A = this chain, B = another copy of it.
Amino acid sequence: MRTHLVYAHPHHGSLNASLRDEAVQTLEGLGHTVTVSDLYAMKWKAVADFDDYGPTEADSFINASAQAWDEGTLSADILAEQEKLLAADNLILQFPLWWFSMPAIMKGWMDRVFTNGFGYGTSRDWKRYGEGRLEGKRAMIVVTTGAADTHLSARGINGAIDDLLFPIQHGILFYTGMEVLPPLALTGAGWNPDYEGMTKRLRERLETLAETAPIAYRHQSTDYDEDKLLLPGLEPEGTTGFALHTA
């Protein structure tokens, strides 16, 4: 098994850094080949711009992205990440929840690595949401939060963590074809965190990576009509919100 860990935290001595080391050690102990993209340590370029694509006369950013993929002129740092991803069986994203999403440097990994033609396509029949280039891989988010558990529950003031992560889990990971495992949310990381409990949960999730049931997001090819609307009658009556898109 090969597992690629994309990691973002600015502090070398942080709780997140310890958890990352614990994850790598656990995975290697399980016999995985582990690659790590430590985005801060790599000084990963966060901002997608025309420099990513080489010479182009394209009239739009999205077309320049497609052209660079077709012609092999993507910048070397993007190509290296695409190769690590293609080589991996599992992708783990580890980050602290900043403003209810990823730190900008990791958003920049998404913006830059998942280029037009590699991560997404604009044609109607582009394989996405359950199928596509990264099909067969498994992805999991490991996220630390300053907020307590209750604050991130359905009635919690921040909104439910599963819904807050939907744009990433469904909109990026599942979009590109990966199976998405339930996230590991390590809450209350700011004050007196239960480090031992956290590492125990982390190890358990890594040991069960291959058999944990993925989130049952619905598939574009079977569950939506030509206008990409959910077919009628698939959901329990009264379902609203993102829950519509989970079987």
Judging by beta carbons under 8 Å apart, are A10 and B61 in contact?
Answer: yes
Chain B residues near A191 (CB, 8 Å)? 122
| Interface residues as binary, A133-165 with B (CB distance below 8 Å gives 1, 0 otherwise) | 000000000000010101101111111100110
* Given A10-B48, A190-B122, A238-B238, A156-B103 contact (CB < 8 Å): no
Chain B residues near A101 (CB, 8 Å)? 101, 107, 167
Partner of A159, one of B61, B111, B242: B242
Instruction: List A189-247 residues whose CB lies under 8 Å from chain B.
Output: 190-191, 220, 224, 227-230, 238-245
Shortest CB-to-CB span from A20 to chain B, Å, is 15
Instruction: List A68-118 residues whose CB lies under 8 Å from chain B.
Output: 98-105, 107-108, 110-111, 114
Partner of A99, one of B163, B171, B240, B241: B171
Chain B residues near A104 (CB, 8 Å)? 46-48, 104-105, 107-108, 110-111
Judging by beta carbons under 8 Å apart, are A11 and B107 in contact?
Answer: no
| Interface residues as binary, A4-26 with B (CB distance below 8 Å gives 1, 0 otherwise) | 00000111011000000000000
Judging by beta carbons under 8 Å apart, are A163 and B241 in contact?
Answer: yes
Partner of A228, one of B105, B110, B151: B151
Judging by beta carbons under 8 Å apart, are B167 and A47 in contact?
Answer: no
Chain B residues near A242 (CB, 8 Å)? 159, 163, 241-242
Tell me the number of copies of this protein.
2
Judging by beta carbons under 8 Å apart, are B240 and A159 in contact?
Answer: no
Judging by beta carbons under 8 Å apart, are B159 and A49 in contact?
Answer: no
Q: A17 CA to B105 CA in the complex, in Å?
A: 24
Q: A132 CA to B59 CA in the complex, in Å?
A: 43
Q: A173 CA to B155 CA in the complex, in Å?
A: 20
Judging by beta carbons under 8 Å apart, are B129 and A111 in contact?
Answer: no
Judging by beta carbons under 8 Å apart, are A150 and B228 in contact?
Answer: yes
Shortest CB-to-CB span from A245 to chain B, Å, is 6
Chain B residues near A61 (CB, 8 Å)? 9-11, 14
A interface residues with partner B (beta carbon < 8 Å) = 9-11, 13-14, 40, 46-50, 59-62, 98-105, 107-108, 110-111, 114, 122, 129, 146, 148, 150-151, 153-160, 163-164, 166-168, 170-172, 190-191, 220, 224, 227-230, 238-245
